[in-house]
Structure 1
Amino acid sequence: MPNLDRGGSVLEAVGVDAFEERVYRALLGLPDSSAADLAAALREPARKVSRALARLEGLGLVRRPEGRRFAPVSPEAAIGMLVNQRRAELDEVRGAAAEFVDAFRLRDLRNHATHPVEVVSGLDEVRRFSVGLQHNPEKSVLSFDKPPYATPPAGYDEVAAERPLLERGVEMRIIYERPALQLPGRLASVTELVRLGEKARTLPTLPLKLYIYDRRLAIIPLSGSHVSEAIAVVHPSALLDALIALFEAYWERATPIGAVPARATDGLSSQEARVLTMLGAGLSDQAIARQLGVSLRTARRRITAVMEQVHAQTRFQAGAAAAHRGWI
């Protein structure tokens, strides 16, 4: 608490010093006063009082309608506003402190791990820890991408989030479970990431969700639901080596996903190229319809037209045509 015997201020916590509080208290008793009036009442220099009034006006404690004399703003409203503002600032400090703790913890996990596996639990802890790792890889990210997913924050852009990593040369090798590519717009995002430098492949199924950062740390969500309340953090150990080997074994079996051209090429329009790529990636007719934003009947017409254009009688042959063009 402020020490008033030493000239402290009750309002110090919201940014009002002792002299400014004296001026505000005087104005509460002498509303509609000029700076000179208050200076005389306080027996203080007019310039000093004017500076205090300007500061109080900036804080919303004092008003001066159309440049006339000063009047106090209702303490209940004005001080309440300052308290709420300071509370918001403290919340930001608390958030920054959590980031500092995460950075310290990440360093500790990378450099001073004493156990091969550590469990991080709690939605907020898992989210902060995971986000910190996603933005800090130095060399590589290996991942099994498998639904279900947590709901992304509003405005989340997968391409924008990964682009900085690719631009600074981080190797991104991602294996997508086929249902992941069937989500609306997902294949378009993945092919754009491939164009930017991601190495992507797909398989019908994957055994688990997995993230390996710089081959030094692995994350395994411990919940099968879309929200993970706990993750296993695997440090350098035989278990980490086994997870890396598991990833490489699945990588060899997976089908590559190439970048679909943005313009007409090889006799196909960009949309026809997308359809051919989706066929090669094993997407169902329903999934292709969702990706294109059209009805199932329209999607089937387009699928038939593309298969005829590349002389494919089966989806396997369509996949071979897409692979020949480098799109899977």
Structure 2
Amino acid sequence: MRGSTRTEVLAGLVSTEAAVAYERLHAASRLPVGEGPEAFDPEAPAERELQDAGVISFGGSGSARFARAVPPAVALRRLLDRQHRRISELQADLAGTWERFTALVAPTGGLTSVDGGGVRAIQDHDELTRLASGLYRSPRRLLRATFTGSSGGHRVSEGVLLPPADALEAGAEFRMIYDAAHAHDGWGARSIRQSTEAGEQARVRKSVPVRMMHVDDTVALVTTDRTGAAGALQVHSPELLKVLAEWFDALWDAPDTVPLDGADVAELTPVRRRVLSLLAAGLTDEAIARSTGTGERTVRRHVCAILEILQVESRFAAGVAAAKRGWV
């Protein structure tokens, strides 16, 4: 592992300062409660974060009161459980926000306008493609966009996914969330790489429910299904635009939405996802081989590839990294 194993394990589950404070407390076995470099100050931000996370305990009383860290395995389990609860709560919030949006618009069949002309239904695929292409090239401030691997029989030109240089030079931001199906597809991975190299900020998550272009909080184009085959809504309504922006921003900041930062998109195949879930459950290579119907040597190759994808150096760290990303 790089650096201190325990600090690295806690990183991402608590703040960096809290991870260091936990490591210091664990290394000392116990510290007196109080102020100063050799004490544990329960009022300090990092130490309070550890208390809120339930990874420390107190003993003694009065001037003999002390703090100690719970065992690393227990701390990690509690933090991962908390992370999973947060992800579940966030998913519920995202679903609630999307329900708010769908409740504000009528079914697309026969829809012509909502909120005094604030929504227009689009059924023609060619018109939808032209609008999406134009919107992607139009931001002056911020583009919020989502993209799914499902195409409904239509493939979007790679050029649509490339942010224009003049808009980037003028300070516009292009934020795109891709679903894993597109990120793991050969063509999708290449198009994402080209887009991030051109200046797009890209993130990926396991699934994205719809495709959307949301430009400068003034107009949005959102499909009515994952592929766009059933049509889309062109939105000008300020109320609806606000709901869609809130939904996207929550999705962008979600723990299981992973930044790509312009790097090559790692391909986690269905077999490797299965191996990862078994690895995270603590199974040995022999047990994973039996479960997947492959040889141990093949399992070890998959494990090595998974460690490289997650940029970690141990099976344990792979399980932790996958849990942090919401993969297991």
Tell me the TM-score normalised to structure 1 length. Answer: 0.46
- Relative to its length, the structure with more helix (as a share) is 1
Bigger radius of gyration: 1
**1 or 2 for the larger relative contact order (CA 8 Å, sep ≥6)?**
2
Tell me the TM-score normalised to structure 2 length. Answer: 0.46
